[in-house]
Amino acid sequence: MGDAEIIPIGTRGRPGRGTGRAPSAAARALAKPNKAAETSVSADREVPSGESSGAEIEVVPAEAAAPDEAVAVESTVTTQGAAYSEDRGPLRGIPTADWQAALDVAAREVFGEDWERQLAGFLAFLRRRVRGEYVVDDFGFDAELTRRFFISLLRPIAQKWFRIEVRGLENVPAEGGALVVSNHSGTLPIDGLMTMVTLHDHAARSLRPLGADLVFRFPFVGSLARKGGVTLACTEDAERLLRAGELVGVWPEGFKGVGKPYSERYKLQRFGRGGFVSAALRTGVPIVPLSVVGAEEIYPLVGNIPALAKVLGVPYLPITPFFPWLGPLGLIPLPSKWLMEFGEPVRTDEYDASAADDPMLVFNVTDQVRETIQQTLYSLLMQRQSVFH
């Protein structure tokens, strides 16, 4: 049989399209099975004269192809039909080893090279929690939960958000009881949390903060605080912790310090009655002054609503440039640059335990610690280039 006849289809089409030559074997191999079937049907179909649909199809009979090419076309069409099958899923045919390799690469990118060890440790931690195989001390402190949960959550904030720079770590005792006394600021007591993270990561010690009774009035917050190592700020508990060799943290300014207006930033308030000094004198532990610069700027306190604060049972209800105007977004602290400096310890082992009952001695030591922190704050402020750098 000769070349196939060109059949015009439609009323608007122009006859004579195509070259009249059979397409190559490579071109026929690209056709899907249904297209090949349509071509075969069209080859045997007789189109009445005068019918046209606006397009022309060049039909090549199967006999026009060489025998070898026909076999190749049939084989190719069969393969292409499997590739175009609709019931084949997009993920079928990927080897399991490729999936494992992809997951391994992704885990290394996100969690680091030792992600397998971290995952195994986390699963072991969950297993111990479910079985109740963990230790809690007499004050409710859960060291493992604090290390794996609380510190892990707070660490990115300390390192990436506040970018805390630490100085004077050599003044923090590597072991034994000690009392860390710090200034208090920031509208919310975030400086206490950052101090815990700093001492855990840089001094390898767990800080046991002394918290106000307000912290323990809220059921959920109070329970988390105890598990994180916070203890009620009373002399008896402080002395027990110090005698047990713990690193205890205290913020003598209390709510007057953390809730002072932005206009009075970095001006220390009264250090209470010196109860922390009495505890240190009775136990003979050193007092380590800590000065923190940067916390005053995270929530600039520009106002207060005392009437509403009294109804809610809180010491103050802060108003900042962003809260309550921006709602929950106003609770995001500003990313100020923090400086922490631990000063030279004030030794108390030179005094007898009875010295704690001498009000004049207690006052002098309290004033010495307060003045050390205040002068260090002024020095750090002069060294700081800007609030956020």
Task: For residues 287 and 364, state if they share a domain.
Answer: yes
Average pLDDT score over residue span 148-170: 96
Q: Which has more confidence, 111 or 315?
A: 315
Residue 373 covered by a domain: yes
Q: What does pTM read for this prediction?
A: 0.71
217 and 365 together in one domain: yes
What is the predicted pLDDT for the residue at 26?
59
Per-residue confidence (pLDDT) for residue 71, from 0 to 100: 46
In terms of domains, do 76 and 163 share one? no
Number of domains in the chain: 2
CA distances from 349 to 172, 284, 292, 357 (A): 16, 4, 26, 15
Cβ neighbors of 58 (< 8 A, separation 6 or more) are 4, 6, 17, 18, 19, 20, 23
Residue in the block written with tokens 């700020």: 233
Over residues 20-49, mean pLDDT: 53
Query: Is the same domain home to 264 and 350?
Result: yes
Mean pLDDT in residue range 108-117: 76
Q: What is the pLDDT of residues 246-290, one digit of tens each?
A: 999 999 999 999 999 999 999 999 998 889 999 999 999 999 999
Does residue 73 sit in the same domain as residue 164? no
**Alpha-carbon gap, residue 192 to 253, rounded angstroms:** 13
149 and 49 in a common domain: no
Label residue 56 by pLDDT band (50, 70, 90): very low
Whether 279 is covered by a domain: the verdict is yes
Six-digit token pair at 9? Answer: 């289809």
Kindly tell me if the per-residue pLDDT of 8 is higher than 50.
yes
Q: Sign of the CA dihedral 118, 162, 207, 372? A: positive
CATH number of the CATH domain containing 292: 3.40.1130.10
Tell me if 47 is assigned to some domain. yes
- Give, in order, the Cα–Cα distances in Å from 65 to each of 30, 33, 69, 308: 16, 17, 6, 93
The pLDDT value given to residue 53: 46
Q: Is residue 133 part of a domain?
A: no
Q: What is the mean pLDDT of the chain?
A: 82
Beta bridge partners of 53: 10
CB within 8 Å of 165: residues ≥ 6 apart: 337, 338, 339, 340
Residues 155 and 44 in one domain: no
| CA-to-CA dists, residue 275 to 8, 35, 52, 243, angstroms | 105, 93, 105, 16
Task: Looking at the structure, tell me whether residues 61 and 155 fall in a common domain.
Answer: no
Q: In this structure, are 67 and 169 located in the same domain?
A: no
Give the position of tokens 């089409």.
13
Domain assignment present for residue 259? The answer is: yes
Does the residue 318 lie in any domain? no
Distance CA 268, CA 260 (A): 10
Residue that wins the pLDDT comparison between 117 and 257: 257
Separation between Cα atoms, residue 210 and residue 384, nearest integer Å: 29
Residue with the bigger pLDDT between 295 and 124: it is: 295
Q: What is the pLDDT of residue 313?
A: 86
Average of per-residue pLDDT across 318-328? 91
User: Which run of H or E residues covers position 29?
Assistant: helix 25-29
Whether 154 and 78 map to the same domain: the answer is: no
* Residues with Cβ within 8 Å of residue 145, at least 6 apart in sequence: 129, 134, 227, 228
pLDDT of residue 191 exceeding 90: yes
Higher-pLDDT residue of 191, 3: 191
Regarding whether 258 and 164 lie in a shared domain, the answer is: yes
Instruction: Verify that 189 and 288 share a domain, yes or no.
Output: yes
What average pLDDT does the segment 200-210 reach?
97
Tens of pLDDT along 331-374? 999 999 999 999 999 999 989 888 999 999 999 999 999 999 99
- How far apart CA 255 and CA 260 sit, in angstroms, is 8
Q: How far is CA 129 from the centre of its chain?
A: 23
Cis check: omega of the bond before 324, within 30 degrees of 0: yes
| Residue 132 resides in a domain | no
Q: Which domain holds residue 259?
A: 143-298+333-383
Report the C-alpha gap between 193 and 164 in whole angstroms.
12
